[in-house]
Amino acid sequence: MRATPRLLALFAAVVVTSPSARGEQPVEVDVQNDVTYATVDGEELKLDLARPRGLDRATPAIVLIHGGGWMGGRRQDMTGVMKQAAARGYVAATVSYRFAPKHPFPAQVEDVKCAVRYLRAHAQELAIDPKQIGAMGMSAGAHLSMMLGALDSKDGLEGDGGNPEQPSKVQAVVSFVGPTNLILPNYSPVQDQIVTAFVGGKPAEKKEECRRASPVTYVDKGDAPMLLFFGTKDPLVATDQAYQMCEALSAAGVPARVEMIVGAGHGWVGREMTRTMDDAFGFFAEHLKPE
């Protein structure tokens, strides 16, 4: 199956630039590009890093994951947010991962989990607190971020990309318009095409794969607190997806919050993005920097 440019554009619609840091002193950051965090089946997987200049102590980290329907997008789409996170005192990494349909689920999940393990394995040299890592993503990247917050090693989606001795679970998640349950009562043509590419077959015939690929499947006690942003007029991810995830998290005793952006679709820009990004960093500060 070939994904059309229009199809990829729909799921890559959430591309953000660096929001203003309200009331904060500007911090200079150092950026390191094209770091290979794993080689899988001969393919190098890379990430970009940003850190506060002169960082000399272990600090929380945030993994940033781009959207694109699991079929496209670039880690550079999140460069602005990466620099803003570093300016706010985090070590931040924006990561690439393998794309469907050439690499169907669980390749994308395995890759981002591998990236987290890489950061933990290099925590000392990167000045990362390995016990305080968050994840934030847009659309498909938000889905992968939630998988990082909900999956445990016993769930069997670690892959073999390296550093198996390190845990891959994160401690806080922010999701912008991320799908939480890929088993839908009805699929639109666009949803059907996207999910078909992701799970390697028609959703009606791949129900078990859709279940395994859904963050809501794995929610239990001890998962990462999550903040979920949704647009009330999103044509791709229904608001019910947010309620399903938060109800599951709340039932498990995991802190969770949903914020609905009235009238917004699959992403937003301008003042609304600046405000929601400020809320996102406030959420990370609450859960990764409790002191």
For residue 269, the model assigns a pLDDT of 92
pLDDT tops 60 at residue 2: no
If pLDDT is split at 50, 70 and 90, which confidence band does 24 have?
low
The tokens describing 245, both together, are 């995830």
pLDDT tops 60 at residue 14: no
Under a CB-based contact definition with an 8 Å cutoff, are residues 168 and 151 in contact?
A: yes
For residue 20, the model assigns a pLDDT of 43
Element (H, E) at 179: none
If pLDDT is split at 50, 70 and 90, which confidence band does 25 have?
low
What span, in angstroms and rounded, lies between the C-alpha atoms of 70 and 100? 6
What span, in angstroms and rounded, lies between the C-alpha atoms of 274 and 32? 25
The tokens describing 137, both together, are 């993503």
Under a CB-based contact definition with an 8 Å cutoff, are residues 116 and 170 in contact?
A: yes
pLDDT tops 50 at residue 184: yes
For residue 289, the model assigns a pLDDT of 82
pLDDT tops 60 at residue 22: no
The tokens describing 165, both together, are 């001795």
Q: Which domains does the chain have, with CATH numbers?
A: 5-12+19-288 (3.40.50.1820)
What do you get for the CA distance between the two ends of the chain, in Å? 50
What span, in angstroms and rounded, lies between the C-alpha atoms of 289 and 120? 17
Give the SS3 label for residue 207. helix
The tokens describing 169, both together, are 């679970």
What span, in angstroms and rounded, lies between the C-alpha atoms of 81 and 206? 35
Q: Express each pLDDT in 76-102 by its tens digit.
A: 999 999 999 999 999 999 999 999 999
Q: Cα-Cα-Cα-Cα dihedral of 22, 25, 30, 34, to 10°?
A: -10
